[in-house]
Structure 1
């Protein structure tokens, strides 16, 4: 059964009526094909008009949709000969960060990402995509491995942010994130990052300081969650929609600000309505971003990547 967001209730009602009519037909009742077609057209029209004017807060809800394709969905669909790598060689394996080696369109690559999980069991196992220090140290290890063997890096980011627990801070969360960002910037190989859902704070930047940064149309990328921003500025988490509006966290906002390089269109109604189509679109955009980078040497890649992020800082201060 499809999960509908609050602002999708009118769409849910129409699709519910369509399903009821279909059951009537299946049970041997009257032919309702004409009425089903009329309601389907109405539902599509309503879906189109709703998604054409989503607010930043509504886009945040879509980015968090539980049925949205997750990192491992992309890995299974796009990466062949997949060999996962585990552990940070220091403390433990963090399941929120997944990584390994495989082939993308026949080319050997290193792959990283944050995995939220698709059901209760997997969400708990992956800690809802919120990594602890060992997750970022694992990411750093894989990035360094990729540099050593000349493997392009692909990352798929979907996290509310790094895990904020006391034990994570005790084990050096901030240092681990900073080292992971450093590894991103120092990697002597092409690096393409894609924000597939939430790109939350340093926990996202740690896997997305890349040569090319892509965002899905209804994904978000921000320094803090709207709820966190609202609780700080207004002392009221209920002001999250206001915060989302002010934070400029949508793909369109970030493309306009030159903080990301391309926006990948989603199917009508969001990625969760047609995961296969979404993954195919991401595959094409990742390859378009990666292919020209393959001709560049490591020193050029590092210099261009460094300048890219320094320029973001200059623009922010201007």
Structure 2
């Protein structure tokens, strides 16, 4: 387990606990009481740290290297062996930063789509750190249209620092691809559920984020721009990224208060990396619950409610 800078007090206690357990194992001395006391301190320190996170610390947790990614969630949520990944946009290429395919969740057919980061250096390069090219968004749209044809609910997972900003992406119509997805998603004649499972940045996230219901996991963020980018625009450097994170109101609590999202999914204390299975189950229960609710609505209601949801976000009274 890797520890972020503000998690160092927890790491120190964990090291003490492991040393205590090792002494007991090697010497045969009963150290259960001492280890138990350290465990209590660890629990208290976690409550203290994770119960008082700053917006910037929340951003850091969303990027934790041990945090589960889209494919991890898919494998943890879908029925065993049911996920069939589909590739390509039928126009240019298969974008590895965008993954998707058909699966069943407790027997319910769904189309699962999401941005995917990499674990190893090679995989990070292949997936461009979860930043899709235009063909990624076009692949996602192809899968959504396939789901619409067979009246299968769509579930999207957002975990991206933004769309890929490279020259080749712009040459192939990055802006048009994202705009087309938004245009098509507000009219899609099947239920759409969206979950922010890590970073939800800019149009890169919104390109697959137009859902009837939008949820954020507890230690994630969702914003029009990343704090570092905001800081570089306003202050010409990254030194004020913490100030930017606070000003952007990007935490789940802020998003819920501002009626941008519909709910917050609980995570294990400190993040999904501590207990991925618990995080998967929480998301799975939400998906099954919401699918049943949305399936009871007519196509006209689904489309109208989705459109109104996003139209209302632009209302402002001076």
TM over 0.5: yes
Give the Å deviation of 1:142: 0.6
Offset of 1:29 from its aligned partner? 4.5
Inter-partner Cα distance in structure 2 for 1:21 and 1:229: 45
Matched with 2:123 is 122
1:19 maps to which residue?
Answer: 18
Indicate the SS of the match to 1:238: coil
Q: Matched residues in 1 for 2:124 and 2:203: separation?
A: 21
Q: For structure 1, which runs of at least 5 residues remain unmatched after alignment?
A: none
With the length of structure 1 as denominator, give the TM-score of the two structures.
0.97
- Equivalent positions of 1:169-180 (< 5 A) are 169-180=170-181
Q: Which runs of 5+ in 2 are unaligned?
A: none
CA-to-partner distance for each residue in 1:196-255, whole Å, 9 max, x for gaps?
000011010111100000100111000010000000001120110000000000000000
Report the TM-score, using the length of structure 2 for normalisation: 0.97
Shift of 1:26: 2.3
Contact conserved, 1:157 with 1:199, CA < 8 A, in 2? yes
Displacement of 1:181:
1.3
CA drift at 1:122: 2.7
Q: Describe how 1:277-316 pairs up with structure 2 within 5 A.
A: 277-315=278-316
1:180 is displaced (CA, Å) by 1.3
CA distance in 2, matches of 1:241, 1:286: 33
Deviation at 1:136? 0.3
The answer on whether the counterparts of 1:188 and 1:297 sit within 8 Å (CA) in structure 2 is: no
Aligned residue pairs total 316
Q: Distance in 1 between matches of 2:171 and 2:27?
A: 65
Any idea what SS the aligned residue of 1:103 has?
strand
* 1:60 corresponding residue in structure 2: 59
Residue 163 of structure 1: SS of its match in structure 2? coil
How far apart, in 2, do the equivalents of 1:122 and 1:183 lie?
A: 30
Moved more, 97-106 or 188-197: 97-106
What secondary structure does 1:139 align onto?
A: helix
**SS in structure 2 at match of 1:157:** strand
Cα displacement (A) at 1:304: 1.1
Once residues 28 and 55 of structure 2 are traced to their aligned partners in structure 1, the CA distance between those partners, rounded to angstroms, is 44
Is 1:227 equivalent to 2:228 in the alignment? yes
SS in structure 2 opposite 1:237?
coil
Root-mean-square deviation over aligned CA pairs: 1.1
Equivalent residues in 2 for 1:204-243 (5 A)? 204-243=205-244
Give the secondary-structure state (helix, strand or coil) at the position aligned to 2:315.
Answer: helix
Structure 1: 4+ residue segments shifted above 6 A? none
